[in-house]
Each structure stands twice: as C-alpha cells, then as structure tokens.
Amino acid sequence: MSSVLLARHLTLETIELEPNANTIDGQGAPTYNTTVDVQARVLRKNKMLTSAEGSEVLTTLMVWVPGDALVLPSERDRLTWESETYIVVEAKDVKGRDSSLEHRRLRCRRE
C-alpha cells in the first residue's frame, strides 16, 4: 500500500490522463497522446503559482499519484476528472527516506 493511501486515509479515484505529445496542431493548440486511466487521490484546492515565465497561474486541483503507477503525469499533460479538464502546471516527486518515489504531487489549472 502506498503512502498516498496511508497518510490521507482516502480512497484513490480514477483520472483520465492524456500525456502531452510535445507537438502543435494546425491551429496552434497542443496535441496529446492516447488517454490512460490512472488511480490518484484528488482534492479541489485553489493556489496561485508563479510559472517559469514569471506569470501567475491559478491552480484549482491537487492530485497525488502513487509512485508505483504505470504512468506518471508530467507538466503540460491533460487530466480529466469528474467531467472537467485540467492542465498539469506543476509536478513534484515526493521521495521516502530510502530515496524511492512515494508519489508525484500535481497542481493543475482548468483548461
């Protein structure tokens, strides 16, 4: 059992993850790879972040994905949860005492 479950005592929920394909379509929008279901702990929480470019971004969703997940979301990936779509703004790896990955914490903005 991962620390995400033990520390928070909440069940994991299914989110739909679309990894960013790092390409742009004909209209200038990012493209995404095939959707993958991922189990995660999800919490609605507003927080202002400063982007790498220096602009402020309001994030409205926090997601914790267990470190042993088959696919770990990264920045700029797209997530769908409860029929709402989000973009990952920040991805932070949280490691245990033995330096192994316990979980990845994501902060996401509405698309």
Range of the domain at 100: 3-110
Alpha carbons 77 and 31: distance in angstroms, whole number = 10
* DSSP code at position 97: T
Structure tokens, 47:
């927080």
pLDDT digits 0-9 by tens, 34-76: 999 999 999 999 999 987 778 899 999 999 999 999 999 999 9
pTM: 0.87
- Domains identified in the chain, total number: 1
Structure tokens, 21:
């394909």
Residue 24, CA distances (Å) to 29, 43, 65, 78, 80 in order: 5, 30, 27, 14, 20
Alpha carbons 98 and 111: distance in angstroms, whole number = 36
CATH number reported for the structural domain that contains residue 101 in this entry: 2.40.10
Residue 9: helix, strand or coil by DSSP? coil
